[in-house]
Amino acid sequence: MFRKDIGFAAPIICRSTVQGRHLISDDNGYVCSALSIDPWSRCCPRTGGRFSCQGCNLDSQCCNSYEYCVSCCLNPSRDQGSRCAEVEGS
């Protein structure tokens, strides 16, 4: 007889941006350097700020970094109308 309620933990896999050479944003809202991303999970380390809007102008809805725009826009407290729409300098 086998117990069905015990199993292996499912591996955690993040979707992450591939735009920049130096920064990466994952779908958990973290931004990290391309060298610090976990090669197996593709997740950024859970250090630093989550859902960072660094370099984003929330009035004009523009960011100077695609990765920070993704991080900022993933914040669940932001509604659809206030999300960043454009990226400057890309």
pLDDT, tens digit, for every residue of 14-72? Answer: 999 988 789 999 999 999 999 999 999 999 999 888 999 999 887 887 889 999 999 99
Judged against a pLDDT cut of 50, whether residue 88 lies above it is answered with no
* Contact in structure between 56 and 62 (CB atoms under 8 Å): yes
pTM: 0.73
Q: How many helices (H) and strands (E) does the chain have?
A: 1, 5
Neighbours of 24 (CB within 10 A): 24
Domain locations in the chain as residue ranges = 23-87
